[in-house]
Amino acid sequence: MRIGLIVTGGVDRSGRERVTPALLWLIERLVRRHDVHVFALHYHLHACTYPLLGATVHDVGRVDGPPGLRRWRLARRLDRAIGRVGAFGVVHAYQGMPAMVAAAVAASRHVPLIVTLDSGELVGIADIGYGLQRRWIDRRSLALAMDRAARVTVSTEFMARLPGLSRRRVDVVPMGIDETLFPAAWRGDGPPWRLLRVASINPVKDHPTLLQAMRRVVDRLPEVHLDIVGEDTMNGTIQSLARTLDLLPHVGFHGFLPTDRLAPFYARAHLHVVSSRHEAAAVAVLEAACAGLPTVGTRVGYIADWEPERAAAVPAGDPGALADAIVALLQDPARRSRLAASARSWTLDHDADWTARRFEELYETERRDR
C-alpha cells in the first residue's frame, strides 16, 4: 500500500536532530511492507525531497501568514506534492495542523484520512498561549478535519475523555517506542537520589512547578539531584529560577540530547518526574518505563491512564503535592519496584511494532471500505 504520512516536522534528514522519535519508529516499521511518503508542512524554508529510513520525505516549504490563509496555501502545496507522487491508499495526518491541512486534500482525492491527535489539539491554556481550542478558527478547522476523517486516533484514554471528542468514535492507539534503545537497568537505592525530567523547556512542561517542588524535596532529602534533559526554548529563565531557589548544586541542565544518548540518564535515575500542565501522552514516560524507571507526575497523558498501578499522579500546578509524592516514592522502594514492573510490562506490550500493526489494520480497513 502507498501511505501518505502528513506531519508538521520532526523528520529531519539526519534522523537524530529535530526529530519526533515516535514518528521515526513508526516510519521504520511501515516501510518494511509499504511504500511510505512523508509530507512535512513546516520545517525547511524551501521545498525539498530526501530519503529517510526507507521512506521519501517531501517538505513543501514554510508558509507564513494568518492561520486561515496559511493553511489554505499549505493545502495547495500539499495537494500538488501528493499529485506528483500518484495515488495513495490512505493519508495519515499526525497532529492537529496537518489534519486541518490534509482534510480537504484527502477528500478531493477520495482517499481515506486517518487523523492522530497527539499534542494540544483538544485544550486551550490561555495564560501560556497553548492549545488549538483557544481560537474559533482553529476549533472550527479541527472539527471539520475530524468530521472528514475516516478514523480519529489518540494515544491515551486521557485524550479520549477530553470534551472535544465526547461524541466521536475514537481509537486509542499508543505511539509505542523502540524498546531496544532503553534496556532495563539495575540501579542501587539511595541516598544519594537522582531524579530525571526529559522534556523541552517550554511553558506547557511547567518547569517552574518542578523546581519549586525540587526545593521542597531538597529541604527534606538533601542528597538528591535532578537532571533536566531537553531543548531550552525559554532563554535561560528556568536556569535563573534554579539559581534564585538555590538549587544549582542539585540540578543539572543538559540541553537537547538525541534519543540514542538518553539511556544512561534513565539507567541511573531513581524516579522520572513529569510536571506538565498538559500531555497528550508523553513518550518519555514510555522510555522511562522500558528502562525500569517509575514515573511520578501530573495527572496528564499516560500518567492519568496509569495511576495508581503504573504511575503516581498529582494535580497539575501543585509543587507541594508533587514534592510529597516524590519523597514518598523515594522512601518506598517496594512501591517503586511495583510501579516500574507494571509500567514496563505495559510498554513492552504496546511497543512500536504493536503500533505499526494497529495502524496497518486501520489503514487496510478504511481502504477496503472506501
Residue 370 confidence (pLDDT):
67
Q: Which pTM does this prediction carry?
A: 0.94
Distance CA 320, CA 214 (A): 9
183 and 159 housed in the same domain: no
Burial of 48 (0-12, 13-18, 19+ CB in 10 A): middle
Give 282-305 pLDDT, tens digit per residue. 999 999 999 999 999 999 999 999
Does the structure show a pLDDT above 90 at 369?
A: no
Give 176-201 pLDDT, tens digit per residue. 999 999 999 888 898 999 999 999 99
126 and 89 housed in the same domain: yes
Residue 306 confidence (pLDDT):
98
Does the structure show a pLDDT above 70 at 74?
A: yes
The total of structural domains in the chain comes to 2
Give 313-337 pLDDT, tens digit per residue. 999 999 999 999 999 999 999 999 9
CATH code, domain carrying 172: 3.40.50.2000
C-alpha torsion sign, points 212, 217, 223, 224: negative
Structural domain boundaries enclosing 329: 179-349
194 and 342 housed in the same domain: yes
Give 88-105 pLDDT, tens digit per residue. 999 999 999 999 999 999
187 and 333 housed in the same domain: yes
167 and 283 housed in the same domain: no
94 and 195 housed in the same domain: no
166 and 240 housed in the same domain: no
For the segment 46-74, the average pLDDT, to the nearest whole number, is: 91
Helix H or strand E encompassing 253: strand 251-253
Residue 31 confidence (pLDDT):
97
235 and 365 housed in the same domain: no
46 and 165 housed in the same domain: yes
54 and 199 housed in the same domain: no
Residue 283 confidence (pLDDT):
96
193 and 216 housed in the same domain: yes
138 and 264 housed in the same domain: no
Residue 199 confidence (pLDDT):
97
Q: What is the three-class DSSP state of 5?
A: strand
Residue 174 confidence (pLDDT):
97
